[in-house]
């Protein structure tokens, strides 16, 4: 079984985020970058499918030189080889641009399954997996919490409000992984050493036969105008020296007139 898994490098969720000088991006100087946590579920599921069915896993990532670190991480977990999609033309791509880059690269090979995390931590758009599926004209199932593959078909479970939805589909197909699908493994020392010898193929727009004008900042349909941190917490109020009825009345007034939450 040949599986592709697409990952993204994101700031560590414990990192202290600062807004960049342009006001539209984060200042990632000194910020530890990691594989997006939801993508780790996708990688783990690919490894489990290979353990059961055999085959090969290929990881894909779009980004600058630093993205190679994320690819080495998943290679250490057990992925067979990796493709680093790197080109100056890719810089500034929005969700659709990233989807075009990945789908162009995936189209050059043949996979029975393509796995994504349900969303990338940071942007939280949740668009790339389904968009790649549409561009490749493949069926897709999102936010999957249980998955099995038998006889050229998949059976997936996804959580919906108040229930669990079961979806069956022929292969090839695209899956986006939700927390709860599995528990990602840690890379072993043997895996870390082996990852140093595994192939990371670097491919640009020409290599994947992609028109560079359709991606990058020039091809972006979505533009971030402003990025700002949430407001800091203000001091609370304590209602004291009041009888319960008066305190309740004052609390309602504060919630309605000052906090404006009711």
Cβ atoms of residues 181 and 154 within 8 Å: no
Return the residue matching tokens 């641009």: 97
Q: How many other β-carbons are positioned within 10 Å of the β-carbon of residue 55?
A: 16
pLDDT at 20: 80
Could you tell me the pTM of the whole model? Answer: 0.84
Cβ atoms of residues 35 and 9 within 8 Å: yes
**Strands 2-7 and 113-117, bridge-based pairing:** parallel
Domains of the chain, each with CATH number or no CATH: 2-219 (3.40.50.620), 234-262 (no CATH)
pLDDT at 25: 76
Q: How far apart are the first and last CA of the chain?
A: 54
Backbone angles phi, psi at 167, to 5 degrees: -125, 135
Q: Which two tokens stand for residue 130?
A: 């389904």
pLDDT at 259: 80
| Residues in Cβ contact with 202 at an 8 Å cutoff, skipping those fewer than 6 apart | 84, 86
Return the residue matching tokens 């080889």: 81
**Strands 81-85 and 56-62, bridge-based pairing:** parallel
pLDDT at 109: 95
Distance CA 34, CA 121 (A): 10
User: Which residue stretches of the chain have pLDDT < 70?
Assistant: none
pLDDT at 232: 75
Q: How many other β-carbons are positioned within 10 Å of the β-carbon of residue 54?
A: 9
């Amino acid at each position: 079984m040949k599986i592709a898994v697409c990952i993204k490098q994101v700031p560590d969720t414990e990192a202290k985020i600062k807004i960049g000088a342009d006001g539209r991006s984060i200042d990632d100087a000194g910020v530890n970058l990691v594989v997006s946590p939801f993508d780790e579920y996708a990688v783990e599921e690919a490894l489990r499918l290979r353990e059961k069915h055999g085959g090969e896993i290929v990881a894909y990532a779009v980004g600058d030189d630093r993205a190679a670190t994320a690819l080495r991480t998943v290679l250490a977990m057990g992925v067979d080889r990796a493709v680093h999609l790197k080109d100056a033309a890719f810089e500034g791509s929005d969700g659709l641009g990233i989807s075009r880059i990945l789908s162009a690269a995936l189209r050059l090979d043949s996979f029975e399954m393509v796995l994504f995390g349900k969303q990338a931590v940071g942007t939280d758009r949740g668009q790339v997996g389904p968009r790649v599926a549409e561009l490749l004209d493949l069926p897709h199932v999102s936010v999957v919490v249980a998955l099995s593959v038998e006889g050229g078909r998949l059976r997936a479970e996804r959580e919906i409000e108040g229930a669990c939805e079961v979806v069956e589909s022929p292969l090839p197909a695209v899956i986006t992984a939700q927390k709860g699908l599995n528990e990602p493994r840690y890379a072993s020392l043997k895996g870390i050493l082996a990852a140093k010898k595994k192939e990371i193929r670097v491919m640009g727009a020409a290599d994947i036969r992609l028109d560079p004008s359709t991606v990058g900042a020039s091809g972006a349909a979505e533009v971030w105008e402003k990025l700002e941190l949430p407001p800091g917490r203000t001091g609370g109020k304590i209602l004291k020296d009041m009888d319960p009825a008066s305190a309740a009345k004052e609390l309602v007034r504060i919630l309605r007139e000052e906090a404006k939450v009711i």
